[in-house]
Structure 1
Amino acid sequence: MSSQPEELTIQTHALRLAARAWGPPDGVPVLALHGWLDNAASFDTLAPRLPGLRLVCLDMPGHGHSEHAAPGELYGFVDTVARVAEVPRVLGWARYCLLGHSLGAAVASVLAGTFPRQVRRLVLVEGLGPMVEAPEQAPARLARSITEQLARRGRPAPRYASAEEAAERLRRAVGTLSAEGARALVGRGLCAVEGGVTWRSDPRLRVASRLRLTEAQVLAFLRAVEAPTLLVRGAQGYPETPALHQRLAAVRDIATVTLPGGHHVHLDAPEPVAEAIAAFLAPEHAGPG
């Protein structure tokens, strides 16, 4: 795969989205979705190790170089799924593979359950479905979301004296992110402002969601997934829980692999992750499944 990505602009119905595309245009089509507050550079160390793919790494709505939502709008989970669902259509992909990390894995897993016949294979890194809440928690969540949105109006974005300071703050916040990984995310995620640098991402991404899906709804989406699925976990990443086992049981064809690393295992330890993904996607090089 080429060591230099191609920058894309993808115009959807509502937003102009940015992406980094790796590999030949006739390669196996893979849409890659990064995690919350990250950007397309999340896959910069992984992509060159996956030859034969047309790997389009999206800046999710409101992240990186992608356009922010209109005034008054937020980034609810199902709205994000709907916005991302437009991208393969704009690219002219009838059937494609999905690769997602964290929030991107949550979006990918629900998208694969929403349009199961479109998704050829599904690769999830440190995530299987979104965060959930019980129905009785909905009133408090909506109140919190509205309160946070009003409080953020006019609040200045955080500024840093340098990219190095921003990278160090990011590493401290994540806890398990390597210096190389932080530099990759910062390199695409910052813009210059008076007195230093700040994040390009929309501050509204930090506002609490209006509502969350219930666990029953998430399980329904996972049961609808038809694509063979691979879940890659970092040994020091998200913990193993009864809820995870329940979700794994809901997916009809899923394999799991646990590799040394933290939540950003794909960024910090790309070689073993790339090996696992390449082996899983190998049947696609023979033609659509």
Structure 2
Amino acid sequence: MSVAEELELDVNHGVLAARRWGATSLPPLLALHGWLDNAGSFDALAPLLATRWQVVAIDLRGHGLSSHLAAGAWYHYVDYFDDIRAALDVLGWSRASLLGHSLGGALASQFAAIYPERVERLLLIEGLGPLTYTLEDALPRLRQALDQHAAFALRRPLRVYTTLDEAIHARCLANDLSPAAARAIVLRGVREVEGGWVWSSDPRLTVVSPQRYTEDEVLATLAGIQAPTHLVLADPATSYLPLAMMQARADRVADLRLTRLPGNHHLHLENAPAVAAALLG
């Protein structure tokens, strides 16, 4: 099985930490994790894909081992596209395939539509376009986000977990994960402090996004995808990725294959062999 190599990619706002699997002579595949996850999310899947691709999984800004933004800054969804482009540039990849889970799948699919010349193939797990809102949601969401951002300095200190097992248990409860799956994310997602461990991700990532797209905007964007696309969804469907919505989105992509596999939202961690078989098939 391929052994991961740790990387640091220098970008304009700091460092994007990353892990690489597979020979550098293989076609490039950039992997993008979900919200509050990190590159460890691909620890089970990436070695299985490394027979075909050189897989580099990055920690998005504020996640895992990557740099946090300066005090007072916002984590805007669109800024993650800068991370994708910067990672491709630093790695010297003018064109690559993209693998994305959840938030990473939303980013990968939209990036492929924005910059079709840079994306060879799309491999998506539980993500095709971002979460959306209705026009009625827009004003209250904007106020909630601004209030949370203004009050951030008043937040309580981070919870300290006295053991790693305690942090793993908390992640299991939060995301309905098995201990083995949670461990892969937690080991890269904590930092040691006096008395134990705290999450390494920037707490500002939990501030409500001030704006989202409407569903019509997402559908219009997805129509711009030119790369062959394989979307893997969990069965039963994740509550915020209902079947009708995801099918409507899939129908906007010209060349898309849809596979449903038994599992939950993190099925690539819980059942990596089945997901790898689907993506390699």
TM-score by length of 2: 0.95
The alignment of Structure 1 onto Structure 2 pairs a total of residues equal to: 277
| Alignment partner, residue 181 of structure 2 | 181
CA distances 1:124-147 after superposition (whole Å, capped 9, x unpaired) = 101111011123432211111111
| Alignment partner, residue 161 of structure 2 | 160
3-state SS, counterpart of residue 100 of structure 1:
strand
Query: How many angstroms apart in 1 are the aligned matches of 2:28 and 2:73?
Result: 31
- The reply to whether residue 40 of structure 1 matches residue 39 of structure 2 is yes
Give how far 1:244 is off: 1.6
3-state SS, counterpart of residue 213 of structure 2:
coil
Query: How many angstroms apart in 1 are the aligned matches of 2:112 and 2:159?
Result: 36
Query: How many angstroms apart in 2 are the aligned matches of 1:237 and 1:54?
Result: 30
Contact 2:41–2:185 under 8 Å retained in 1: yes
| Alignment partner, residue 247 of structure 1 | 249
Q: What is the aligned counterpart of 2:259 among 257, 260, 278? A: 257
Query: How many angstroms apart in 2 are the aligned matches of 1:56 and 1:39?
Result: 12
Query: How many angstroms apart in 2 are the aligned matches of 1:154 and 1:5?
Result: 39
- The reply to whether residue 266 of structure 1 matches residue 265 of structure 2 is no
Aligned residue type for 2:20: A
Query: How many angstroms apart in 1 are the aligned matches of 2:223 and 2:14?
Result: 30
- The reply to whether residue 76 of structure 1 matches residue 76 of structure 2 is yes
Give how far 1:237 is off: 4.4
| Alignment partner, residue 17 of structure 2 | 18
3-state SS, counterpart of residue 181 of structure 2:
helix
3-state SS, counterpart of residue 259 of structure 2:
strand
Relative to structure 1, the CA distance from residue 237 to residue 34 in structure 2 (aligned partners, 3 Å threshold; closer, same or farther) is farther
Task: State the 4+ residue runs in structure 1 displaced beyond 3 angstroms.
Answer: none
Aligned residue type for 2:44: T
3-state SS, counterpart of residue 221 of structure 1:
helix
Q: Which runs of 5+ in 2 are unaligned?
A: none
Greater mean alpha carbon deviation, residues 61-70 or residues 139-148 = 139-148
Contact 2:237–2:243 under 8 Å retained in 1: no
Query: How many angstroms apart in 2 are the aligned matches of 1:268 and 1:75?
Result: 29
Aligned residue type for 1:159: V
What does 1:113-132 correspond to in 2, within 5 Å?
A: 113-132=113-132
Contact 1:42–1:184 under 8 Å retained in 2: yes
Greater mean alpha carbon deviation, residues 142-151 or residues 77-86 = 77-86
Greater mean alpha carbon deviation, residues 52-61 or residues 223-232 = 52-61
TM-score by length of 1: 0.92
Query: How many angstroms apart in 1 are the aligned matches of 2:223 and 2:144?
Result: 31
Query: How many angstroms apart in 2 are the aligned matches of 1:172 and 1:209?
Result: 24
Q: Once superposed, what is the RMSD of the aligned Cα atoms?
A: 1.3
Query: How many angstroms apart in 1 are the aligned matches of 2:27 and 2:267?
Result: 23
What does 1:98-137 correspond to in 2, within 5 Å?
A: 98-137=98-137
3-state SS, counterpart of residue 267 of structure 1:
helix
Give how far 1:82 is off: 2.6
Greater mean alpha carbon deviation, residues 80-89 or residues 16-25 = 80-89
Give how far 1:15 is off: 2.8
3-state SS, counterpart of residue 18 of structure 1:
strand
Query: How many angstroms apart in 2 are the aligned matches of 1:7 and 1:255?
Result: 32
Query: How many angstroms apart in 2 are the aligned matches of 1:19 and 1:259?
Result: 28
| Alignment partner, residue 229 of structure 2 | 229
Query: How many angstroms apart in 2 are the aligned matches of 1:218 and 1:70?
Result: 30
Q: Which runs of 5+ in 1 are unaligned?
A: 280-289
| Alignment partner, residue 287 of structure 1 | none
Contact 1:126–1:237 under 8 Å retained in 2: no
Give how far 1:7 is off: 0.6
Give how far 1:74 is off: 1.6
Greater mean alpha carbon deviation, residues 145-154 or residues 268-277 = 145-154
Contact 1:24–1:52 under 8 Å retained in 2: no
Aligned residue type for 1:167: I
